[in-house]
Structures are given as structure tokens and as C-alpha cells.
Chains A and B, each alone.
Chain A
Amino acid sequence: MTAMKVAVSTLVMTGLVLLVADGGTSVPWIPPDDRIADTQDTEPLTAWPVTAGDDKEIVDEYCVRCHSDRRLRGNLSLEGFDPDHPEADWATAEKMVVKLRAGMMPPPGVRRPAGDTLVQLVESLERRLDAAAARTPRPGGRTFQRLNRAEYAASVEELLGIEIDGAAFLPPDTKSDNFDNIADVQMLSPTLLDAYLNAAAEISRLAVGDPEATPSETTYTVSGYASQSERVEGAPVGTRGGISVVHNFPADGEYVFSVSFHHTTTGAGFAGQLARGQRLEVSIDGERVALMEVDSWLSYDDPWEIWMWTDPVTIQAGPHRVTAAFLKTSEGPPDDLLSPHDWSIADRHTGMAGYGLTLLPHLRDLVIEGPERVMGVSEHPLRKRIFTCRPTSPADEIPCARSILSELAEAAYRRPVTPRDMDGLMGFYRDGAAEGGFEMGIRTALQAILASPHFIFRFERPAAAADAGSESPAGPESRSRFLAVGAAGSDAPLVYPISDHALASRLSYFLWATPPDDELRRLADSGRLGQPAVLEEQVHRMLADPRSEALGTRFAAQWLRLQDLEKVHPDSYWFPDFHQQLGDAMRRETELFFTELVRRDGSVFDLYDADYTYLNERLAEHYGIEGVVGDDFRRVRYPDDRRRGLLGHGSIMTLTSHADRTSPELRGKWVMEVLMGTPPPPPPPGVPDLEETEAASEGRTLTTRERMEQHRANPTCNSCHRFIDPIGLALDGFDVTGRWRIREHGNPLDTRGELYDGTPIDSPAALVDALLRRPEPLLRTFTQNLMAYALGRRVEHYDQPTVREIVRQAASEDYRMSAFIRGVVTSDAFRMQQVDVTMPQDRTP
């Protein structure tokens, strides 16, 4: 608490000093504070300061012509804007900073001031805003987060060692600014509460085992887009297609495995008469338990439709890997009249294509039903993990239960347990034990832990409030203490540092997407986690830990919109080689690229211009890169500069395409929105889409570019599309699936264009070079996304000074990934909370 008090007051002091410097004197004065000194290091002195008044003239002359009260371009008027006090209209000022930094304003074709006038304008705006922020620290605030699907599953796995699918239990998460963990849109509802209750009931039964389990069924579905000719991950070698999952069996007993197959619209299974003798194997932990010959006449019109099922199989409780896959009886592409391809459902309308096309039966569902004839619950790893002690006499039961439950509760609640917590849980233990003995007691209490608000909500208490498990001093007294800190900062919003345990949770869900581990919890217990050196050391340790993979699979995946890959199903006629597994490999490539960048602590610039990526054989073949053998991903250097950084990834190219053609608009929009942070406005209504333009002319199919140019003849469209399209066109060398091409529909491609600033670009490499000439928008957009994900709230205009500060700091560390992450973690926004979360929009200091 004391340390934080100092920090806050330092900020206020520096602010005052800067105010003096800013308020009239033209002599640069270098304050002793480190923060400001760094600013000095990285910014040329010549650009500072601008005499008050100059900026106003520039704005009036070059901006207000369009952004006037009358013309109101972009719904913005700058007539009343005072660039000497940009903080008076902070949100607008930050919008200007973004556009100016990107070099997008004034727009192409409109008069611009000479030389570096605009650079000076934006630098002066930034400096004044940063100074205002230093005067009035505003860490921002939000209400508490709840565990979303992904965090819930990860937390359950960390706590109990049980793998579950969050989507099977919880409704989908509402996103805001593309992230699924933004607190203020995490609505609560009875449906949601019911889902958490139900999940707690199910998961506690699966973890402890349920000797009274009654038959139920679980369905695992295989996408119609999945290849049935390749082995799936986890399946035994020598199989192809199908599905492989870890299923949690609640009790020892008999289970039946049913499978169904995809069928054509007329009902026939995809086996057809042509692929006879196909056999499907069901295996448990790699051991065959059933082998079924697929009836090649299966049809939806049959009494049992397209279902087949095994005899009952006796299986012991616990997690087991279940695989249902076809036996692989041939190698290499089938010798078909039509070119072979991987996607076995070529065309759902005419699935029974006839001779010359090999159609393989395509698994749709694997359903596990059971248990029947329950024989009890055998020991298994999940149970061993929970039952850390076993009562040997009735007198042992209570102490043993107490020890098991306090350990579970501490991990689940991410804080020390209080006597009050234990009283509640032991109550549940007694209820359960009275009904069904010791194990049922533990299970019932575990169910309560999993359903409790302490587990599903991430409450963040102020530091010194409820830490170290003592909750008596938590109340009004400590609150008045942190309020006092805020009051000391005059008109500064009321801020307080969050407790060490809250900080531990923020850290671990940010970097690992899991609850804090023992070490973090111990440091929080001892109250040392908040110390800057300890915090930095922990960040270092956590980034080196394999769990930091979550930065790739959770943060980068959402920032880069990888989930949209699921929406695009490249047309099987044009792109017969694309299938689910290839799409998965693409996603994996991008996630791995990011994860490895974090692990190696490489430069953030690698995101944009890396000359390497991570590939397995299938993906390397897709990219036309030789010498990569096997399913494992490894680092591969690109043989040429067609591909560079993220813009060479198949994932990005595919998710920004339509099924049957590339979309320069979507790609341009993606670059502007995701990488540059300058999303183009959506099209106005009544505008026909590209589909309205003719697809063919003079007897030949037009290229996407030609169709686009027709579309762009409309001046309304052109005012935005001249920003968007050239960017996308430069990437048009990648087809719908991210494969390199030089022709489209037989016509040579023309990817030439001019970036909005006039730079000629015609290839991904040229685009990347042009973008990198202005790195600020890229770095700030990355930082801003990282911050939003870390904080669980949208990044607002008053956060921009922090974003700039993080980027400045990172510059002195070669833009290494860790510098950005550390910058976020050590920021006030991450370590503190503002009491008044709904601040008035624009406050004049």
C-alpha cells in the first residue's frame, strides 16, 4: 500500500512539472523522472516544442475544410478543436493521432502541408495528451470478470486434471472488440447460472466417479469438411479419418459406441457401392474393442438410418482416449478419372457421383452411451489426484475431508481459504456423506466449489483488503483508506492498487489463460508479488513456461480473427485440396508462430516481416515448400520473399476470402483493421455487392480485379475502396486457400496498385515494406490489443498515453515481445483499478 501511494503521488508531481513546461515556456526542460527521460531519448529534440498557436492554424487550414460543422465529413467537426489543449476533447484528439500517424489524413488528392508539418502536429498532440495523462493518472476500471468458456475449461483442468469442452457446458461468450473476456459485456442470466450449476454437477461426478451413474450419451461430431483419407491426431497409426477424443467415463460399466455417417441430400451414405469392404475400428487407449464393416448400402431411408453400433464394451471409469477411425488399406491417391482430392464429400448434392470418383464413407457422429451394468468405480488418475488422503477409520473422515477440500478450494478460489469458506464446504460434505459416504461427501462439496461465485467470478479486492486470508479488516475501513489516496490527487479519479491475489489472477489468465499456480499464490500470500522486481521476474518465468502458449491460442488467435477460418469453406470445385485438417494446420501455424515468438522473445516486427514460419508436411506441400516431412511442425525459412510474416500465412489469406474467390476488400479491410488499427467504415446501404457485377465478359471469366474495378467505378465506393483495395490486391497473389498463384481463371493476375500514400505496391513484400515505413500504427495497434485482452476491457482514448509509453519503452529493448508484455503488466491500468468506472467522456483537467 505504501509503495503504491508513492507511485501515485510521483505521477501527480511529474504531471505538475510538465504542466509548467507545457504551459508556455519554450525552453525544453528535462525532468528527473525516468519516464520522461525515456521520452526524451526516443524523440528528436528538434520536434519539440511547437509554439502554441501554430497547430491551431494547421488544423484550421488543413483539417477543418472537410471536418467543419457544415460538411461534417466522417461525422467529425474540428471547428472547436483546440490543439493546444487536445485533452479537452481527448477522444477526438486520439482519433486524429491515429489518422495522422497512419498518414491517412488529409486523404489522397487533398492538399497537404509541406515537409514534416503533420509529423510535428501529431507529435505535439501526443506530447500534450501524454502530459495531461501524467497529471491525471487514469488506470481505468471495470467490473469483475467471469470465467468464460475457455478459461472455465482451463481452470477445471488445472484444478482437477480433467479435460472438458467448455462449449459443452457454457453458452457462447459475447465478444467485444473481438475478445471474449471483456468484463462489461459478460452478461449474467438465469440460463448462464443454470449452465454453471449443471457443469458443476457433471464435472464433479466425472472427476470423482459416480457409482450411481445412469446411462447417458455424449456425441462427438466430425465436420463434413474433414478429410477421411488422413490419420487424425491421437488415432492409432494405420487408420485414416474418423475422430479421436479423450472421454471421461463416470463409472466402470458397459458402454455402447454408435457411429453415423454423412449422407447425401437424397439420403445415401457416402460409402456408395464403390467403396466396399471399408472397416471402422473403435479403440480405447489405442486398443481395438470393435471392428465394424461399413455397410455400403447405408441410407438415411433405412430403419436405422445411417447408424451402426458396437456390442456393449466393458470399460473402467476415468479418462480414456476413444478413437473411431477407418482402417487404412491403401496408400497414395486413388487412381480416379477425376483428379484425386482429400475432401471426401466432394459434392453433397450428387454425392453418389458415379464411376471415376472414389468416395469414402465419412464419419459424422461418434456417440458414447452408457454405462449399463455399473460395477463401481475403479481407481484412476483423476481420483488419485483428488483423494490425497483416505480415511482408515470413521474418526479420520472429517480431518481428511477438511484437508482435501481446503486444498481444492484454495486452488479454485485463487486465494487463501477462510474459516467461513470451510464451514460452508464441510456442510456440503456432511450432507453428501450422510447420503452416500465419504466419497459422495467430497463430491458434493466439490460440486459446490465449482458452482460457487468464488470460482466462476474473478473478484478483485483492493490491496490490503482481504489478502492473507483475514477478511475481517476487509470492509469499510480499508475502502476508506484507498479512497483517501485518490482524494490526495486532487481531481484525479479515485484509484487503488488491486490485491496481490487479484494481480496473480490477472497475470496468470493473461499469460497462461489458467488460474495462478502455487508459486504465484505463494508470492501473493506473502504480499511480495506487487514488488516491481518480483513482478518482472514472474513475467519472465511465466513466459518461459509452456502454458504461455495461450498467448498464441487465445490472444493472437482472437486478435487475428482466426476463429473466422471456421466460416470459410473453400469451394470444393475450385479448391479440392482444402479440408478441415489443412485449415486446422493453418491455424496451428499462426498460433505456433506467435507462441514461438514469445518463447524466443523475438522482435514484434517479426509479425510483419519474418522470413520464416512453422510448417508440417501437409502445409509445406500446400505452400510449395520442399523438404518438410512428417506431421510435426517445425521452423522453416521461406525460400523466397513471396511470404513474409503473418501476411504469408494461409490462415489469414483463407479467412479473408470468399468460398469461390479471393476478396481484396476483405484482405484490405483486415490489414487496416487488425494490423493498422484504422478500420474503414462499413459500406452504406443500397450498394450492390461485387456479386452484382458481371462474372464474365466477352466469353471469358473475369478476374476478381476486373470485377472490382467495375464495382469501384462508383465514386461513393471509391472514397473508401481506394484505401482498402490496393492493400488487398497486393495480396491477390495468394488464392482463396493461401496458395501462391500467377493466374486466375486462366488470366494473368494484375496485383499492381498504389497504397493510399502513393507508394506503388504489387506484392505482399512490397506491401509489408510500405507498411513498415510507418511502424507506429502497427506497434500501437498490437499493444492496444494486447492491453485489451490483458485487462478484460476495451482500450479507451485515455489509455493511449499508456500504449505510447509501452511502445517507447519497447523501442529501447529492440521491440522484443517481452518488453510489450512487461509494459502491459507493469502499467497502472493492469495493477490498479479506478473506482469510478463510468467516467464522463472528456474531462478538462
Chain B
Amino acid sequence: MLTLEHAYVFAGLVFAAYAALGIGDADNPRRFRSAGVWAVFALVFLLGSHVSDTTNGVFALALALIGGTGALSDGQKQDSETAERVTRAIRFGNALFVPALIIPVTAVIGTLLAKHVSIAGQPVVDPKQATLISLMIGVILAWIVAVIWLRPSLLAPIREGRRLMDTIGWAALLPQMLAALGAVFALAGVGHAVGILATHAIPLTEPFAAVAAYCVGMALFTIVTGNAFAAFPVMTAAIGLPIVVQKFGGNPAIMSAIGMLSGFCGTLVTPMAANFNIVPAALLDLDRNAVIRAQMPTAFLLLFANTLLMYFLAFRFGPHHP
């Protein structure tokens, strides 16, 4: 059965190749430190499952220290040999889209089929992680098709991958690092502390005040942690269930569905949600907060709309339980 562990080995080999190729890059004055980052990152993927938590912690700390002190760029200017690319685009035409689309199409087919395909009673793909594993299969398929069709040098995909990694810079490490920080926050009881603050800050004597405190609280907590999933249990246990549902008789399905979506409004405006907001800014050669700025008015309007929706729907469609 294909599991995430196989995907991690593939990832580890690719990052190790970035490191090996990076050492030879004489144009880069910080080549040893940047190769060091990719080498440690490769170890996290290749060995992470086999070494202790503390060793993984040392890996993570090393990445933060080397990657956070100038080994990786702040996002490089992207090169522009456009003339050559235009000629090639004319030559290869719309067929260039085919390998690019293999990735999402394989991911979708894999997700849909994962439950049904099994050999000798064993599923071929771990059904719990079907989308991620199918995405990796798609990447490998697209890689093979592109290399056979375009016939670049064998190292070209690694070189191009490293080039794009350089344009992202340290932001590439940010999503995984923030996810780990979220787990430490949860362990330290940050959520509990925010819940106490939120319930004591506002007198929740009116249904509207309770609904507003819950929706805005979901968004604020998500801004702090970068993750609406971490905000939901805390804010719902503090305000949603005891006040909106039990005290004022709101419908719990409406309260939770719209509450979660209020958290997503927070995701749109927080740099803590790095993979949605910071990495794309780097990928698109933009100022670090440009994507957040584009999303901010939508997030505020939608949070306001969510508060009104919950207020008008949750009490009308009534209590759902005794």
C-alpha cells in the first residue's frame, strides 16, 4: 500500500538533490549555508519517522537558525530569458498545458478511486491520505511525461525546482514551521487562555452580542494561530455552545457551520496562514503582504455577513435539541 511515508521519501530525495546541486553553484555566495538548509530538510523527510522527537526538534531548530539568518533569500527577482521562452512556447504550443494538468487530474482520479482499488484485499493507496498521495503520483507522472517529451538534461527538473525554491526563499519552510508552533501553542494551553479572555471581555447578555462575540472571536483566534481548526473547539466550547446554543436556544448546526466559516475569514488576513498568503506572494514576485491586502475587504465584509446570517438563521430555525 502506498502511504504518506513513500511520499516523504520522494520529497527527501528531491531536497537532498537540491542540496547536492546547490553546493556546486559557484554564483551563489551563500551556497554552503543554503545547501545546508536543504540537506537538513531532506533529513527531516528521510529520517524523521525513525529518529526521536528531540532529534526532530534539533532538525527544526537548525532549520530556523540557518534559514532565518540569511541562508535563504527574501525571495529573489525572477530571471527573464523571455525571448527564448516565447520561441519555445510557439514551438510546443498548447501541448505544454498537458503535463501541467496531469497533476490535478491524477489527484482527482486518485481521490475518487482510492476507496475502490485494491490488490489482494489491500488498498493500493492509503484511503485516509488519498488526495495527497494521488497528488504525488500526479507529480511523478507529469515529471516522466515532461522529461520524455521535452528531452531536457536529466538534472533540469531539479535545477528548475531549486530555482523556484530560491524565488520563494525562507517562506518555503514557513508553513510546516507554523504548523509545529500551533501544536506547541495547543500543548501550552494558549487556546484555553484566549477562551477565558474572550468570555470575560464582553457581557454576553443579548443573543446578538453572543453571536458577534463568537464570530469575531473565531476570526481573531484564527488570525493568531493561522488555523480555524484550532480556533473552533476553543471558541465553540467558550461561547458557541454554552451561550449561543444553550442559553439563547440557537441551532447548533447553523452555529458551527457559520462559525467555522467566520474562522476562514480570519485565515484570509493572517500571515500565520503562510501557505495560503505568504508563499503565493513569494511565488508571484509580490510584496509579502500583497495577497492579504487583496483579501482584506472581502474578509471583513464576509465576517460581517456571517454574523448577521447566524443571528437571523440560528434562532429562527430554532433549537434542535432539548
- Answer yes or no: are A and B bound together in one complex: no
Measuring CB to CB, which residues of chain B are less than 8 angstroms from any residue of chain A?
A: none
